[in-house]
Amino acid sequence: MPTPESLEHRVARFVETTPVHDIHTHLYDPGFRSLLAWGIDEQLVYHYLVSESFRQMDLPFERFWSASRSEQAEFVWKALFVDHSPVSEACRGVLTTLHALGLDARHQDLPSIRAWFAEQKPDDFVDRVLSLANVRSVCMTNSPFDDEERAYWEARPVRDSRFQAALRIDPLLLSWPESAARLRGWGYAVGLEPSAGTVSEVRRFLADWTLRIKSRYCMVSLPPTFVFPSANDTNWLIEQAVLPHCREFDQPFALMMGVKRAVNPLLRMAGDGVGRSDLNALQNLCASHPENRFLVTCLARENQHELVVLARKFRNLHPFGCWWFTNTPQLIEEITTMRLELLGTSFTPQHSDARVIDQLIYKWQHTRAILARCLTQKYAAMAAAGWPVTDAELQRDVTELLGGAFQKFCGSGPQ
């Protein structure tokens, strides 16, 4: 008589074999050739590793930034993998990824690892990574304000359906005067003040881009100082243009709260920091706009419990991800357990935020292991109370957590 499969193994099996929909990344459709980052050098110059490297190097900032990508990668490799043990989460990510690809990081030097990547064909490599990571599809971060990316969209690219679009509007909401000038340059007759004509033209801009890229949602990352309601451009643009737009297109509005941009400008993209947000702003948004749906992640650990409690109060609020500085095993476990205990399965535990497609391998391998552990604990407690979970229920729950709940929350917007 074979020994019955342990609960732990059952849960791990379902978590590993259920494909995930990754709801926020900085990856690009392979058709956007120059924008798709992949390979060992791109992995090593990931801004998470750059900031960690500067802590271990005396190198002047400008010496690093004036170096080529491959020389920058060599600086990072030496600082974090050769001269010190790669114990950080981002370092372990490189190790997990190389190991999954069958490369021996311990005994292969950087040139031989580079040589292996040089033999890969981009499209085949993308397929292989998505398969290894068991990622069914990803949401990109698509900004009309990025000149290089806008050119691709204006050329009407043939799309890879595995790479879904998300409309990123930080410049519109956070730098209105400058963005108003850009919208005028693109043919939208906007003024600086919130006249009926300006609001209608901002909505036309949002509608044009939503239809052009078939975005699943609009997204903005907000500073810890964001307040709502308040008499400023960000507020009237959200209330008079973005929220009505999301209602018209049956889409959620995604808020990523708590980024302090350029805390150390010398680190460039690696120089952003974190601040505790005033979640009264989120409470006021959810309460005053019950017909809108809000996808929300917070960057500060201190905001996590309040975000979960707000989600208990507002069913139009869907918490997601252990974002950026909270994407570490210890905090993923803490936040995911908190969410399971207060929200059941009505949330999305993780997004990868991957910038280099290879990273999907480690971002999801690391998260799946922790999610399986958290779920096992909860199902074991249920069984102890007389409610053992069935395989069908397990599959249902895991499918929901790995993108199913997000898909439902997203509504019927442009597919």
Q: Which residues here bind ligand HDL, judged by CB under 6 A?
A: 26, 141, 221, 256, 259, 269, 272, 324, 353, 355
Nearer to ligand HDL, 113 or 256 (CB): 256
Nearer to Zn ion, 86 or 258 (CB): 258
Q: Is 393 helix (H, G, I), strand (E, B) or coil?
A: helix
Give the one entry of Zn ion, ligand HDL, none that residue 324 binds, where binding means its C-beta sits below a cut-off of 5 to 8 angstroms depending on kind. Answer: ligand HDL
Closest residue by Cα to residue 209 from 245, 171, 178, 177: 245
Binding site for Zn ion (CB under 5 A): 353
Nearest distance in Å: CB 352, ligand HDL: 9
C-beta of residue 25 within 8 angstroms of C-beta of residue 140: yes
Give the one entry of ligand HDL, Zn ion, none that residue 116 binds, where binding means its C-beta sits below a cut-off of 5 to 8 angstroms depending on kind. Answer: none
C-alpha span between 285 and 262 (Å, rounded):
27
DSSP 122-150: HHHHHHHHHHHHTEEEEE--B-TT-HHHH
> Alpha helices, DSSP H only, in 251-358?
280-288, 304-313, 329-343
Nearest distance in Å: CB 76, ligand HDL: 16
Nearer to ligand HDL, 190 or 256 (CB): 256
Nearest distance in Å: CB 110, ligand HDL: 24
Nearer to ligand HDL, 190 or 295 (CB): 295
Nearest distance in Å: CB 375, ligand HDL: 24
Nearest distance in Å: CB 141, Zn ion: 6
Return the number of other C-beta atoms located less than 10 Å from residue 281's C-beta: 19
C-alpha span between 337 and 341 (Å, rounded):
6
The pair of three-digit structure tokens given for residue 393, joined into one six-digit string:
């229920």
Nearer to Zn ion, 42 or 353 (CB): 353
Give the one entry of Zn ion, ligand HDL, none that residue 366 binds, where binding means its C-beta sits below a cut-off of 5 to 8 angstroms depending on kind. Answer: none
C-beta of residue 234 within 8 angstroms of C-beta of residue 270: no
C-alpha span between 137 and 91 (Å, rounded):
25
Nearest distance in Å: CB 221, Zn ion: 7
Q: Which residue is nearest to Zn ion (CB)?
A: 353
Give the one entry of Zn ion, ligand HDL, none that residue 221 binds, where binding means its C-beta sits below a cut-off of 5 to 8 angstroms depending on kind. Answer: ligand HDL
C-beta of residue 22 within 8 angstroms of C-beta of residue 166: no
Nearer to ligand HDL, 326 or 399 (CB): 326
